[in-house]
Structure 1
């Protein structure tokens, strides 16, 4: 659709992807010789001929990601983010349930501020839906003849009202544009030091002792998180000196970071390093040495490097490239721990007074594109105070997304259920319930000690398996664990490698139960199914009984061949049952022998394959 006005031509496009998703964009061309200004920059503006009945969206916040909100559509329903990070307040996803039974889904592929709105027609025969950059959050100045294209909105729909169909469409579109390399496609097992040591308790020797244990249990990537950079001052807080990436804390790491990388590589693993390339601490040397990089709004310090200008982009690229090259990194964890709001409005930063946040994110995207071009085998992990910048715009630049800082199992199940509406499981990363340092209320969330003798084997497997639903990892003090605990972790990691990640990687994915809730008020049972898309027909079924789960549950599978006989083998006992696809998708499977906080994993494949062996 093209609209020509006195000074501006607006053109809306909708391109249908082969697997069903639709990509919406808008372009604005200035027709005035004196230039133009764009203030309303929706990418999506269309009418759907189906009366809207209900809308669902998911609020965010630290440790509160993917909290569902359901509202009746009696008038306009509008959600938006204005904090400067895409999912800081609410996730950029709106589900609309139609009177026909269909469900429609829209997600803004953008890292900053955005709006999604649905409005029923006066006649009740359908609804208008709009979305894109947040209204009144940008004023983009165009020169005469200049054309500007807005960030994408991705749409999906299911006539049957199936969220699994919605996810399949989003996943297929994302996989068609996603960065990938050999390491990201492996779905490697990661260890990260953060929750067990944070910045004050980590040092060279502690890291090496954990690397030793990680190698023994089958970990494939060891990541050094925050705490490695800055001066030798023990009172210094890592957050205050973000930006001084040229400094290494020699008191904690006297041999430097390259020596740790070499140590990890010598153990046969990959080395990862944390960096908040946009972040700028109040005490950072960079703030004084490069004042032209400092993001400000109306003179107030915003706490980040404005990447709207080419000079700042070159600095960011050179810094990341130097870090990767000097330290021989295989994995970079990119964090961003602040809300930039409406962003920078400084003059001389390569942007106008009202498009600073837009220019910053475009600059950030360019930096990541250049890094991937130079270092195609390095994995880029997205993180922003956990999951506060989770969107398909960010993920077009990244290989994997860290879902949330807290990772206790009920929370993790809730977050993964919500995140996987738009992100394929193989692009999600969350650690098995971590050991958090500190005492009592000083802990950011409840801690988990896998070596606790009071932790049952079944509960241990439950927590390990929750983190197997996607790319998996651990933030535990492995150096402190006894041989029994390490052996148990090794066994579960080996199972993940042998049976699970092949089914997750590019396979069909189904949520088989409603969403869990971190408060214990959601679904008491959670089940997830993965099936390879190849000729083997193999897959995995994960079933979890949560602390609030009823005594029994019936789980109905999806996406199988109705007339095919399947052998399902219990991962714990080896016991095998045989059912047809029709039975599994009809009456399903009954689970009545699991206690609260217990799980079952069934590995399935066509029975003919089993008999042939």
Structure 2
């Protein structure tokens, strides 16, 4: 007779079922928006592949013909059920399943969030044995059977979407079937895997740490994100003719992470967010957006969405002076900006890249002092801000030669150098004290209310100081930096900190659960920028996504409009030489910012949709919409298209939309027609490289 009951949960539209066998083996059999049906996976050799966690320790066999895959792990396969806890907390339901193997106690955590079909998952390992256990891999979430439910092979009913990410080309989504990516059903279990990983201090270099798998047989979309600001790994492959997904933080093979867990010591894996919905990519992103808002630190910035002027992009380009800034302050205030951020270069007289670290204002650039400028910004009704790069120290910084090596990342006995900078180690209390003193001085003496926290190096796989491995040192530092940020916000709860790393090279929800705004890109061409911003709301909430609007000194009116449409469904980062452009183009900026202020409160609760599908570089037309409570806002871009007309299918809005108008610009120079019965919107745009923002009123 079976001694243990299965663990079955129905919460927030999610059905979760874990099997506990007579031998106390625990398998995660079901994670779906549909209730479980009579299980077709009757064979024990298939069911035992539905692991709830995978853990590999050094010196133990990996009992599977696995290649590089994390299957058949030990002690993962030996773990036995001990107990489980099913309760509630402030977020919602909380499930914890406890297992053990020879003194190693493993707890898998699933935090549900009320009314949202997304869970936050992580794994906790405690060593209760009398000897150390060396860890090489721990899954934060494991699920087998992500393509089950159809009558055909998973080769024909699965599509994987990932966001490729690079400097000037962030958030480029691509979607493929498994065979298109090279994963085919060669046998019951192949050695091929689809492996996505990033190593180092840029968490989104190469890929955003997330993905989405659509199961066409069941009509579902499984979506996930790894919430970590350092190295991470996830993989999809097959086992017993079933596809599995495994998510983790750093690993030994991919990321040089290895942890020696001493007796009595605890290790907690990085958290991940995982959801599954009826529908496709768009519906899954909508629910992940709601989850991201639920896990984020509450702050006024993400409710108010103030307009920021930053004097870097296509403007001062890191060459600020009092003389140059004052007219920009006047012009940006007149245009309607609410923050003014002085970007790079304020702390030095000349070349500064490899000498940063003291963070004292340049007297040559600001002969009356930097406070004169920040006071002037405040006198114009704006909050002053500064650019900082407080996780690095230039190799020519005088302080760098005065402090010990343990201030920095060290490998093989040498300080790690990347792009002329050392990486500061936030595990060191002296580093934390130094960083706190810089923040307290700038905020206390200059009244700074906004920090653009940039980060322009990748310090690599980690540090050897006080660590079991390079990756262990990196993970400890990553978590220490997050704790430092938490402490900063305890002292300055109204401070706004922008997350920037050469644009979007560190875009993750370890940082974005704390920081209210994220730089989307360093892209300098407004026309190329459209393909970045149109896909951005799949990677982060719109109200956290800062997008540049940087009209040229001598551009056209269409160029001004295009720039503003790029940012008006997200966060406005206004720039450009506003004091030197023609009056008619300046009035277009004022009009755009006034319209933005009228709609921004709605944007903070909007969910994205893509009438033309996810964007790509080279597309001739792009479109992004945000559906809010009673209004939908729709940005449309015409790029290198010979056709002046595009048709957009909006099936969710048919029979519901009562009125459509061009919200920006409000001059009547483009045509549109709405077919309420079919849900088709036909738009004609005046020229190539033009853009418009439409407002659609929705019946409740």
TM-score, length-scaled by structure 1: 0.87
Q: Output the CA distance in 2 between the equivalents of 1:563 and 1:72.
A: 34
**Offset at residue 251 of structure 1 (A):** 0.5
Q: Which residue of 1 aligns with 2:374?
A: 261
Work out whether residues 166 and 421 of structure 1, in 8 Å CA contact, stay in contact via their aligned partners in 2.
no
Q: Between Structure 1 and Structure 2, how many residues are aligned?
A: 571
**Offset at residue 527 of structure 1 (A):** 2.0
Structure 2 counterpart of 1:324, from 425, 431, 443: 443
Structure 2 counterpart of 1:10, from 106, 111, 114: 106
Q: Which residue of 2 aligns with 1:600?
A: 692
Q: Which residue of 1 aligns with 2:164?
A: 59
Q: Which residue of 1 aligns with 2:358?
A: 244
Q: Which residue of 2 aligns with 1:449?
A: 552
RMSD value, Cα: 2.6
Structure 1 counterpart of 2:640, from 547, 554, 558: 547
Q: Which residue of 1 aligns with 2:121?
A: 24
Point out where structure 2 has 5 or more consecutive residues left out of the alignment.
Answer: 1-96, 148-153, 184-191, 417-421
**Offset at residue 607 of structure 1 (A):** 7.7
Stretches of 4+ aligned residues off by more than 6 angstroms: 574-580
**Offset at residue 93 of structure 1 (A):** 1.5
Structure 1 counterpart of 2:300, from 158, 182, 187: 182
Q: Output the CA distance in 2 between the equivalents of 1:584 and 1:255.
A: 62
**Offset at residue 578 of structure 1 (A):** 12
Within-5 A mapping of 1:513-592: 513-518=612-617, 520=618, 522=619, 524-533=620-629, 537-548=630-641, 550-557=643-650, 559-560=652-653, 564=656, 566-571=658-663, 572-573=666-667, 584=676, 586-592=678-684
SS in 2 for 1:313: helix
Within-5 A mapping of 1:221-236: 221-230=339-348, 232=349, 234=350
Q: Which residue of 2 aligns with 1:441?
A: none
SS in 1 for 2:394: coil
Within-5 A mapping of 1:31-180: 31-50=128-147, 51=154, 53-73=158-178, 74=183, 75-100=192-217, 101-123=219-241, 126-136=242-252, 137-161=256-280, 163-180=281-298
Q: Which residue of 1 aligns with 2:409?
A: 295
Q: Output the CA distance in 2 between the equivalents of 1:270 and 1:584.
A: 45
Q: Output the CA distance in 1 between the equivalents of 2:642 and 2:305.
A: 30
Q: Output the CA distance in 2 between the equivalents of 1:607 and 1:288.
A: 66
Q: Output the CA distance in 1 between the equivalents of 2:640 and 2:240.
A: 46
Q: Output the CA distance in 2 between the equivalents of 1:129 and 1:512.
A: 29
SS in 1 for 2:533: helix
Work out whether residues 27 and 150 of structure 1, in 8 Å CA contact, stay in contact via their aligned partners in 2.
yes
Q: Which residue of 1 aligns with 2:590?
A: 490
**Offset at residue 407 of structure 1 (A):** 4.4
SS in 2 for 1:451: coil
**Offset at residue 215 of structure 1 (A):** 0.9
Q: Output the CA distance in 2 between the equivalents of 1:172 and 1:48.
A: 26
SS in 2 for 1:10: strand
Q: Output the CA distance in 1 between the equivalents of 2:414 and 2:220.
A: 47
**Offset at residue 403 of structure 1 (A):** 0.6
Structure whose alpha-carbon radius of gyration is higher = 2
SS in 1 for 2:507: coil
SS in 2 for 1:326: helix
Alpha-carbon distance change, 585 to 501 in structure 1, aligned in 2, over 3 angstroms: farther
Map Cα deviations across residues 465-499 of structure 1 (whole Å, 9 max, x no partner): 1121210122212232233332221122112212x
Work out whether residues 673 and 682 of structure 2, in 8 Å CA contact, stay in contact via their aligned partners in 1.
no
TM-score, length-scaled by structure 2: 0.77
Q: Output the CA distance in 1 between the equivalents of 2:677 and 2:289.
A: 23
Work out whether residues 566 and 578 of structure 1, in 8 Å CA contact, stay in contact via their aligned partners in 2.
no
Q: Which residue of 1 aligns with 2:3?
A: none
SS in 1 for 2:371: helix
Q: Output the CA distance in 2 between the equivalents of 1:269 and 1:202.
A: 18
Q: Output the CA distance in 2 between the equivalents of 1:196 and 1:459.
A: 13
Q: Output the CA distance in 2 between the equivalents of 1:95 and 1:565.
A: 30
Q: Output the CA distance in 2 between the equivalents of 1:87 and 1:586.
A: 40
Q: Output the CA distance in 2 between the equivalents of 1:266 and 1:11.
A: 55
SS in 2 for 1:20: strand
Point out where structure 1 has 5 or more consecutive residues left out of the alignment.
Answer: 435-447, 609-613
Q: Output the CA distance in 2 between the equivalents of 1:551 and 1:224.
A: 40
Q: Output the CA distance in 1 between the equivalents of 2:697 and 2:470.
A: 59
Q: Output the CA distance in 1 between the equivalents of 2:368 and 2:336.
A: 26
**Offset at residue 183 of structure 1 (A):** 3.6
Q: Which residue of 2 aligns with 1:313?
A: 432
Work out whether residues 450 and 496 of structure 2, in 8 Å CA contact, stay in contact via their aligned partners in 1.
yes
